Amino acid sequence: MKNKLTMYILIAMVLGILAGYIVHETASVETVGTFSKNIKLLGTIFIRLVKTIIAPLVFTTLVVGIAKLGDMKTVGRVGGKAMLWFISASLVSLLVGMLLVNFFKPGSYIDLSQADNSGLKDLIGKTSEFSIQKFIEHVVPSSIFEAMATNEILQIVLFSILFGVAAASMGEYSKPLIKALDVAAHIILKIVGYVMNFAPFGVFGTLAAVVAEKGLSIFNFYFIYFGYFVMGIATLWLLLCTVGYLVLGGKRMKSLLRHIANPLLVAFSTTSSEAVFPKLTEELERFGCKNKIVSFILPLGYSFNLDGSMMYMTFASLAIAQAYGIHMPLGEQLTMLLVLMLTSKGIAGVPRASLIIVLATCAMFKIPPEGVALILPIDHFCDMFRTGTNVLGNALATSVVSKWEGELGAETPHQAEVV
């Protein structure tokens, strides 16, 4: 069934691009707008279906995972290893973007006449969300129910950790509740199977809408910029897979890639990491990662370990500076890197969050923030690659921490059959 779903998604991608291209080439501007608006509803339905289960799944799995870890010493040890990975991977991702831009100078190829100023207006009003005060408010919930209603993953993670630690400290008294939450988590994962059946329709709608609006000619203007970005993503994949190969071993690394192929494909085609969180949880457990590790590390990764987005933020920010002929000394670039390291945390649930942070960072470093409009036309296609990379990074982080903890078991018989 898994192989069939992957095939259906691939077919949906091809049909979506084809349908969008035909509409773009043959229909009037008004018809194109109507078509894009309506067909995009398929993708909206799929994303919203997934979002309904994100908050309860993060809460139940994280609380159960902490409770199963047992004493606080274990929680601290596992959390420390996870943060070591997250910080290291983030710094490497940011550095890859910085080195690539300085070497190839893709910003010098950007055509200033192709700016999408209408899209820029939607982003400008959101930059205030990433001031220091707003960042703290973004991390610390004022109401867990509000956090769940708005899918503020980082706030849910913080509350779930506190809840799980408190429950674990109560020992036998809290075990019935932990058992109930464990059952609830499995029920939610069952729902995932139902929702994933709609994934091909969501993929078709998402790609058809963007191609109908932009057409394939968008690559004529941004071929070099996009090509260097994909080169950076490929470099990041090579580094991540090399580390995975060294830590997990060749066979297990190949097996991991097979396990996450379906979530990767969905994330790539829908540009949504959230869309695959439930399925990724399931696949990692089938790969051999223990439930208590997956349910603890993966939600943290969605807030602290966005490798593809990190690489893109330095790449885009410096490319915009190059487009305007602004020279930035190495020291200033490193300062920007550290600023991005801080402001990028907890952005998983924010639409086009990478661009919002790029916009705020440009303003901070005296780079014309309207320069973000230069990269907006190509952003959807860049987002596909950085979202897929985020999924790979989190899957690898969970697997590596499981290995470090001696908790990486064998694949389940069910998974061995379907891969």
Domain ranges of the chain: 2-418
Helix (H, G, I), strand (E, B) or coil at 328: coil
**Residue-by-residue DSSP string for 235-252:** HHHHHHHHHHHHHH-HHH
Q: What is the reported pLDDT for 116?
A: 58
Q: What is the mean pLDDT of residues 125-132?
A: 52
Sequence-distant (6+) residues with CB within 8 A of 10 are 265
CB 269 within 8 A of CB 203: yes
Above 80 in pLDDT, residue 129?
no
Low-confidence winner among 202-206, 245-249, 360-364, 382-386 (lowest mean pLDDT): 360-364
Cite the DSSP H helix spans in 105-152. 117-124, 132-139, 144-149
Q: pTM (2 decimals)? A: 0.75
Q: What is the mean pLDDT of residues 22-30?
A: 88
Q: What is the reported pLDDT for 220?
A: 63
Q: What is the reported pLDDT for 125?
A: 53
To the nearest 10°, the Cα dihedral for 357, 363, 364, 366? 140
Sequence-distant (6+) residues with CB within 8 A of 261 are 6
Amino acid identity for residue 178 in this structure: I
Cα dist from 221 to 58, 113, 226, 336, whole Å: 41, 10, 10, 27
Look-up of token digits 């995975």: 244
Above 70 in pLDDT, residue 1?
no
- The whole-angstrom separation of Cα 148 and Cα 56 is 8
Q: Which residues pair with 289 in a beta bridge?
A: 408
In the chain, the N- to C-terminal Cα span, in Å, equals: 10
CA 71 to chain centroid, in Å, comes to 31
Q: What one-character DSSP code corresponds to residue 273?
A: S
Cα dist from 66 to 62, 166, 170, 291, 407, whole Å: 6, 10, 13, 10, 15
Q: Which CATH class is domain 2-418?
A: mainly alpha
- The whole-angstrom separation of Cα 71 and Cα 57 is 23
Angle between helix axes 153-169 and 132-139 (nearest 10 degrees) is 50
Q: What is the mean pLDDT of residues 75-92?
A: 89
- The whole-angstrom separation of Cα 61 and Cα 260 is 19
